[in-house]
Structure 1
């Protein structure tokens, strides 16, 4: 899976001199693959937007060419932190604006570079093994940023993963399955240095999982072993990255126990972790508009600062 290094180098040099990405345009997206691993050709399967009743884009569907879009801080320091953002959407759509672009711009405002990950959504229509497709993209996203850290003025030891809802499941999967050999790669480390999980799907277990996300990723008749493997609270060990979690207690889509159980397992293994549970806010609040969760970004900023991840 050789990378288009010349293309990445040119884009990286452009961004490093202060050309920032303000829109999610095709020109700014950096493809993750020259040849997508495990891909099946389907001429009828093409990327399309999800639109609301007013014609406004609320997400994208049917991703076939995964990419990262850089939002880099204009800072010549080589010690900058970067966060790769995985939008949510039940593994059926990517809420690329609310849980991607808006979040990247927030990180830029506090001096952190960000990359919006447009990952493939699991489907048998374009994948030999849909269960590992998103993880392949997440691993390669980390490796791509780490390979090009010097070009983008990023500290290769300060690269984190962030995910919302099902994107939180992907982020926690990367955080616990970073060593899984899901495609042929070079020796670049795919382990994130920290994780930020916002109202995440974590577990695939009955009674706690988000059933739509589980069905889309694992299929309707997933085996007990597969359910256990991708119930990421069961895959934590002492090497799992430090983690920041946010969830609303009244989340009726993804039960708050997803975050609680992940946190408790991190605590058991003495992994540094911080969790904020809010009284209300429901699911999918993004940066926060109402309810008790509106200030979660302030607590995140403080956590990043205490952990020496802010400039």
Structure 2
């Protein structure tokens, strides 16, 4: 399903900060590589309108889809985002945790090679785009170990990245308003965007 709280409200927040954004509803309940191909096509179409810098932001399973668009090795230059921001994504398709994402994307009996080929931490290369990542230690749906796997992979590859782990907070916080320290993620993300020249 698409989470409405992680679509238009996010666009409104970015617009209020002077960042042009739109919602892309990638196909759900479809097998890999359909979501990846759809996101790549959307990035190509956006670039074809004259937009020079394209970033992708995704939440939960959408974070995994956005991460695939950023890190999958066979993307053409015009279909890979310039930066990516990921919120509490299921990173590994090899872990036993959050198996629902794996089953929806890969099926019940996905072989080890396919699971590895769709695990974000396995795909990170030095040329991967700069990444902003946040998660909460209290997430019981997608445990925080997923974020640590990706952050470690980014560090090993030397990819510019910023990672924030907040002690408390459930899954699917979206803008995380009134969610304790996790509510700081929007200001931190905006500051990161500004530091790279992607936000005014």
Aligned twin of 1:196: 85
Unpaired segments ≥5 residues, structure 2: none
Please say if residues 90 and 98 of structure 2, whose CA atoms lie closer than 8 Å, have aligned partners that are also in contact: yes
Give the CA RMSD over aligned residues: 1.3
Among 21, 34, 44, the alignment partner of 1:114 is 21
TM-score normalised by structure 1 residue count: 0.62
Deviation per CA, 1:35-78, whole angstroms, max 9, x where unpaired? Answer: xxxxxxxxxxxxxxxxxxxxxxxxxxxxxxxxxxxxxxxxxxxx
Among 149, 159, 165, the alignment partner of 1:261 is 149
Please say if residues 73 and 123 of structure 2, whose CA atoms lie closer than 8 Å, have aligned partners that are also in contact: no
- Identify the structure with the greater strand proportion: 1
SS at match of 1:113: coil
The within-5 A match list for 1:175-186 is: 175-177=70-72, 179-180=74-75
Q: How many residues matched?
A: 199
- Whose relative contact order is higher, 1 or 2, with alpha carbons under 8 Å and at least 6 apart? 2
Residue 7 of structure 2 is aligned to residue 100 of structure 1:
yes
Deviation per CA, 1:139-174, whole angstroms, max 9, x where unpaired? Answer: 00110100112xxxx3x1x21111000000001111
Residue 101 of structure 2 is aligned to residue 237 of structure 1:
no
Deviation at 1:274, TM superposition (A): 0.4
Deviation per CA, 1:69-123, whole angstroms, max 9, x where unpaired? Answer: xxxxxxxxxxxxxxxxxxxxxxxx011x210100001110111111211111133
Unpaired segments ≥5 residues, structure 1: 1-92, 124-129, 181-186
Distance in 1 of aligned mates of 2:73 and 2:194: 25
Deviation at 1:178, TM superposition (A): 6.0
Tell which structure's C-alpha radius of gyration is larger: 1
Q: State the 4+ residue runs in structure 1 displaced beyond 3 angstroms.
A: none
